[in-house]
Structure 1
């Protein structure tokens, strides 16, 4: 393989050079074609095949690799970068050679292109996407033909503590196993690898983790500590939000049946819940605001909402988390104990 600055020998006399850093991913088929598994941006460049000692019979292959990445993913507004990595001597990509599409295949025109030493880059800034499932597709175009495309998928899941969560991975249909799948977890600037090459890694929650046949990550009996961002190798980002509800006495007197209910949503963006995004309802589905018969609203702080109640055996209270007029998840507290559902 060659680039304008260096030449590396990957195969010598029909055998993969084991000193190559990519040797474990290289092999030859029966036609002496070079096979590269799990390609990366570093694999882009010019590959030369010399079947004998005559340089005039060299076969040349230019490998271009399209990647997508996100800048500062800790923010709700983010920028996607789509890069075509190629042989440095090819020069600049033609103008308007990148197209961005949303999940409806509608073209997004607010993008910018630039040229770096080994790659052509297009950027797309996306605003206010904390609660919405989105898929962004970047296409590289030559003439009128789509040469290659790559996707960035963001999925937001809402669950309650104790649920089983299934986190889907946008794995190509051509993959027939999970041996190339990695899953990582991130929250509060702490990043951990939960799955590597299809194998669950040792951790405090490894006993609750598994992969299904589609390489989706399954988390059993989830807790508030499981909330955060999970990333599959195929540029799929799943944001797991976990709702919990708890009750505490407001008085040291055990005869006092007044309780404060706390409804919390744990998520990747800590404390990033909009004002008035929690609703409290009684057993007749009437909203509880201010102060009334047997209750007093304690307001909302960050992603926690409070309600003080005189708990009676026949009463049930519901906490809902609402974004853009849609109930994302709700949980109940009452005489039958705690239970939650979407």
Structure 2
């Protein structure tokens, strides 16, 4: 486990160096502090690989999270406990062939109205890499195989069409799979999704008739219209200069977005015109933020401590004037 954490830290440091070189400091978001009541609700066990990667909020106030370093999916009660729901099977080679990172990791997660939780798993092996379903009372089941030479990362659900969208950070592809599972379809391979050497297409959300995707290497937020028949429209870059951007969520105020910047240790508010403002940083307890979600006016931020190596946690904050 410690070797796995070390490998991840090495990869993250490499990414941080690349990000810093690609995005000069004078392009950084303006800093302000519009969020209030900031506090750390949960601390996770770094030595056990509990580096939280992605989050799905449940109606009862709990949240399901993926732990990148332990192949696990867990349920978290803010301010309370952490209960492991499932540990995905380890690949025979220990994950050594997983692209870029060299260890198996659980990434994107969504919760569907049918009560099932869907997660992505990258192992570098054909027998395990793909989309997994955790149905109540059942063992985890892979319902769609994805290319082992890729890195499935972001996961988004369109509840109307019951389609899942999957970003591949290595192959620069968005895959689509029905909620019931089956053979994935390459939905978009647009150049805006490609990496520049580390990880490209990352976070994903369905919003306002489109799939929105971040690109970590390029520091961009991209909108891809969902056309009739589930065809991908032409990508539109909506924001730039977001060095190390990972996951994001819409605030409910049009196309306004909260996004995590992993290596810079920031959460930023991205306005519809593409300008951004830093709303959380290391002073608030950020430790390589990976994912952000919003319930009412409560902001949930996961921190994986990939490079800080100190305190993986769940941070909560209040978004003033929010009426989602």
The TM-score range, normalised by the shorter chain, is under 0.3
| TM-score normalised by structure 2 residue count | 0.23
Which structure exhibits the higher relative contact order, with contacts defined as CA atoms closer than 8 Å and separated by 6 or more residues?
2
- Specify the structure having the higher radius of gyration (Cα): 1
